[in-house]
Amino acid sequence: MSDDLDATAKQLDREHVFHSWSAQAGLDLPVIAGGSGTVVWDHAGNRMLDFASQLVNVNIGHQHPAVVAAIQQQAAELATIGPATANLARGQAAQRILSKAPDGFAKVFFTNGGADANENAIRMARLHTGRDTVLSTYRSYHGNTGAAIVATGDWRRAPNQYARGHAHFFGPYLYRSEFWATTPEEESARALHHLERVIQSEGATTIAAILLESIPGTAGILLPPPGYLAGVRDLCDRYGIVLILDEVMAGFGRTGRWFAFDGHDVVPDLITFAKGVNSGYVPVGGVIISDAISATFDERVFPGGLTYSGHPLAAASIIASIDAMESEGIVENARRVGADVIGPGLQELAAKHPLIGEVRGEGVFWAIELVTDRESREPVGADVIGKLKKQLSSRGLLPFAADNRIHVVPPCVVTDTEVSQAMTIYDEALTSVEEDLF
């Protein structure tokens, strides 16, 4: 019977569901029927370690009982209410979020997810400054709504260029430096010089905002080198530009900190969030707004809104998630397991496998960059990544792949034992693929 359910799920999916970022005809997707913590399973009971956290959002793990109970309780009390009301859960959710933000932030604008969080942050910056242009990096992903997708730097931007006023620049990425740098310090200084020249060349008085992922995620988990984010902050102050830090993927425990930027001596003007704030149990995102920008709209109408802004089910899930993450030490677990278990384990794999060009990351936010040759650093092709994904899945690990990388991004609740199991699977899968290549 359970096998029949899996077959039915696949059939219905193929016949009726149109999937994102995909050519539809050849899709053969895994069936997920349930989950707990870091593990998911199909109807037949086949279990897999979820080392993708789905789309790097299930930070608290699957089916956390406190979060599920909070959603159930809120649904019984009030399942929905419009944003033109005051609601206790909404206010408490905003209060919980602001307790993790730096000083100087007192308001949260709720959205339905990360893309429209970035969309509305861009709107706020433009209205606050009276300027139009938004600068963002080529190696970035900010979402799939009008301005967010054009702010994105990767291939998904090209077929979606419908928004005005965007320009791009190269951020730091020492392994594939655009600046002929050989040290993190050189990469930081030269990337900042490049950014300032872009600001000057685009016309500083036309630039409303610089939008950056604190740590670019889908682009490769590119940890900013020392001084880079602080240097961007200085440039924004010098030229009167709003700094928006996108914490959609990196925030709420993913790096072993509540916000990724907490480790980089920088305070932005706007902070966008989604994903980890409630692990995606109910769709939600938002913008944490500095007092200076919030004051712009004290007597001026903010021309933006969403029917489900601050939805009570989402609010309840945020409250329960942040409370559980605090009481259970989940952020601290992510920091420890990254430093003591994942990082060392990946470095051991890198020493053993010639396919691995570089390992980088922190917390539960890591990337394995795969190359055909370590000297040339030539990226492996999609065929190699496809084979590796199949090897990982067949051994019971749900992977996250992007370009020539496998991202190691389990929930923040992952245990040392689960990491050890995953490292064995990565090792076996890499060995199998390398036998065909070398």
Q: How much is the CA Rg of the chain, to the nearest whole Å?
A: 22
Choice among 52-61, 125-134, 163-172 with the minimum mean pLDDT: 163-172
CA triple 399-403-409, angle to 5 deg: 35
On whether the CB atoms of residues 356 and 369 are closer than 8 A, the answer is yes
Task: Give tens-digit pLDDT for 93-116.
Answer: 999 999 999 999 999 999 999 999
For the chain, domains (ranges, CATH) are 32-63+329-437 (3.90.1150.10), 65-327 (3.40.640.10)
Backbone angles phi, psi at 30, to 5 degrees: -70, 145
**What span, in angstroms and rounded, lies between the C-alpha atoms of 22 and 394?**
22
pLDDT beyond 80 at 136: yes
On whether the CB atoms of residues 270 and 245 are closer than 8 A, the answer is yes
Q: How does the average pLDDT of the chain come out, rounded?
A: 96
**What span, in angstroms and rounded, lies between the C-alpha atoms of 6 and 33?**
8
Average the pLDDT over 33-39 and give the result: 97
Which pLDDT value is given to residue 1? 66
The pLDDT confidence band at residue 368, using thresholds 50, 70 and 90, is very high
On whether the CB atoms of residues 361 and 223 are closer than 8 A, the answer is yes
Structure tokens at 378: 């030539």
**What span, in angstroms and rounded, lies between the C-alpha atoms of 368 and 408?**
7
Per cent of the chain over pLDDT 90 is 93
Measured CA to CA in angstroms, residue 56 lies from 2, 235, 349, 431 at distances of: 28, 31, 22, 26
Task: Give tens-digit pLDDT for 145-201.
Answer: 888 888 888 888 888 877 789 999 999 999 999 999 999 999 999 999 999 999 999
Structure tokens at 306: 């969403």
**What span, in angstroms and rounded, lies between the C-alpha atoms of 256 and 258?**
7
pLDDT beyond 90 at 385: yes
Average the pLDDT over 3-32 and give the result: 92
Average the pLDDT over 45-60 and give the result: 97
Backbone angles phi, psi at 415, to 5 degrees: -100, 165
Burial 163-200 (b: 16+ CB within 10 A, else e): bebbbbbbbbbbeebbbebeebebbbbbbbebbbebbe
Task: Give tens-digit pLDDT for 386-423.
Answer: 999 999 999 999 999 999 999 999 999 999 999 999 99
**What span, in angstroms and rounded, lies between the C-alpha atoms of 229 and 191?**
11
Question: Which residues neighbour 201 within 8 Å (Cβ) at sequence distance 6 or greater?
Answer: none
Beta-bridge partner residues of 211: 136, 244
**What span, in angstroms and rounded, lies between the C-alpha atoms of 43 and 250?**
32
CA triple 383-384-388, angle to 5 deg: 120
Which pLDDT value is given to residue 438? 78
